[in-house]
Amino acid sequence: MSKQQYGFAIIGAGVVGKTHAERLLSVEKGKLVVVCDTMAERAQEIADKYGCDWSDDLAQVLSRTDVDIVTICLPSGMHAKYTIEAARAGKHVITEKPIDITADNALKMIAACRQAGVKLAVISQHRLHPATQQLKQDIENGKFGKLIIGNGAINWYRPQEYYDSGAWRGTWEFDGGGALMNQGIHTVDVLQYLMGPVESVYAHCETLGHERIEVEDAAAATLRFRSGAIGTIVATTCAFPGLSTRIEIFGKDGSAVIDGEELVLRKLRSDLGEQSGNDISSFASVNKDTTTAADPTAIEGEGHIKQMNDMIAAIEEKREPIINGEEGYKPLEIILAIYESARTGRLVTLPH
């Protein structure tokens, strides 16, 4: 049944919790009713700014009848626990990425939401950028021909103070990984979304540029996609001062590069004809994106708004959200396979 307005609760009032509150202002049928954080002053600060209630008691928030949708903005290793609690309380859930940090937890949260009859969406806002959508459409329409190579690069910078700013950051228990699981997951997701499922990975992951972190700050993986195409993922948080992310797609009939959020190169044989194959005029592009590459609080784009609106539409249309639990699981599975390969020194085959 459609409602005039859907009540939202934000659980976790840190960096991304603030983004959710701000983005909700642009969600026509969404209303922020309460923000919850165990650090009450953080919840209070958002409540004061956006004119909603605050709480440090999750049970009380979940018992409210004016809350329809809960957004989980907690440390990554807590996503499953609180998603499952919210689902059992009958609330639809939008969780931040990664869906969780273990496959087991991710599958449990998918099952719990299904069992409770509530929707589960996982934030992956870069999938919805116009550049990604353009390439997705091109690939589906066969404009790139047979896919040959897909590369993703996340050359970001996080100073030691970033990791020191929260006890959970850089830990296996709550961050679940480093440059890949936290920063790189968006790019891993967009790459697999465009190139299709990954069949196997071989990787190195190291901690090379930071102290007092358990997880990797440098990762390099080679990929074989199920289609037969191959590719790479390189991720680091040591690349001072933080470069834009880059995705490169090469097919038999075309090449494309997304730099930051911008489609800086899209050359299709069907548009150019054979003779234009040597035109390199638009290849010279670096660092289009100075946002989250260097500043974790500068979360760009309208993807969050689109996914919040999509959740409301999914409820009303009785369909799955466009990035549901199963979709959110895909980049997690690839990253966990990369970690296993780095740990064992072996090629790891998916499904993992």
Ligand X SMILES: NC(=O)c1ccc[n+]([C@@H]2O[C@H](COP(=O)([O-])OP(=O)(O)OC[C@H]3O[C@@H](n4cnc5c(N)ncnc54)[C@H](O)[C@@H]3O)[C@@H](O)[C@H]2O)c1
Shortest distance in whole angstroms from residue 335 CB to ligand X: 12
Q: For residue 38, give Cα distances in angstroms to 41, 43, 59.
A: 9, 8, 12
Among 7, 14, 328, 331, binds ligand X (CB under 6 A): 14
Q: Could you tell me if 193 and 136 are in contact, meaning their C-beta atoms sit under 8 angstroms apart?
A: yes
3-state secondary structure of 13: coil
Q: Could you tell me if 82 and 36 are in contact, meaning their C-beta atoms sit under 8 angstroms apart?
A: no
C-beta of 96 vs 216, nearer to ligand X:
96
CA 197 to chain centre: 17
The residue whose two tokens read 């689902």 is 87
Give, as ranges, the residues between 16 and 75 that touch ligand X (CB under 6 A).
16-17, 36-39, 42, 58, 73-75
Residue 153: partners with Cβ closer than 8 Å, 6 or more residues away: 187, 232, 233, 234, 235, 245, 246, 247
Tell me, residue by residue from 296 to 335, as one string, x for binding to ligand X by CB under 6 A and - for no binding: ---x------------------------------------
CA atoms of 46 and 305, how far apart (whole Å): 18
CA atoms of 84 and 154, how far apart (whole Å): 31
Shortest distance in whole angstroms from residue 301 CB to ligand X: 9
C-beta of 77 vs 254, nearer to ligand X:
77
3-state secondary structure of 210: coil
Among 6, 10, 12, 218, binds ligand X (CB under 6 A): 12
- Eight-class DSSP state of 179: I
CA atoms of 75 and 66, how far apart (whole Å): 25
C-beta of 177 vs 251, nearer to ligand X:
177
Tell me, residue by residue from 120 to 149, as one string, x for binding to ligand X by CB under 6 A and - for no binding: ---x-x------------------------
Taking CB atoms, the residue at the shortest distance from ligand X is: 14
C-beta of 11 vs 190, nearer to ligand X:
11
Q: Could you tell me if 120 and 87 are in contact, meaning their C-beta atoms sit under 8 angstroms apart?
A: yes
Among 68, 85, 96, 189, binds ligand X (CB under 6 A): 96
Shortest distance in whole angstroms from residue 122 CB to ligand X: 10
C-beta of 14 vs 209, nearer to ligand X:
14
Shortest distance in whole angstroms from residue 73 CB to ligand X: 5
Among 7, 8, 9, 13, binds ligand X (CB under 6 A): 13
Shortest distance in whole angstroms from residue 234 CB to ligand X: 19
Shortest distance in whole angstroms from residue 312 CB to ligand X: 19
C-beta of 50 vs 250, nearer to ligand X:
50
> How many residues does the structure list for the chain?
352
C-beta of 73 vs 118, nearer to ligand X:
73
Among 6, 7, 10, 11, binds ligand X (CB under 6 A): 11
Closest C-alpha among 178, 166, 167 to residue 205: 178
Q: What is the DSSP string of 275-330?
A: GGGG--TT--------STTT-TT---SSHHHHHHHHHHHHHHHT---SSBHHHHHH
Shortest distance in whole angstroms from residue 67 CB to ligand X: 15
Among 35, 69, 70, 76, binds ligand X (CB under 6 A): 76
Residue 106 touches ligand X, criterion: CB under 6 A: no
CA atoms of 127 and 187, how far apart (whole Å): 9
Binding site for ligand X (CB under 6 A): 11-17, 36-39, 42, 58, 73-76, 78, 96-97, 123, 125, 166, 182, 299
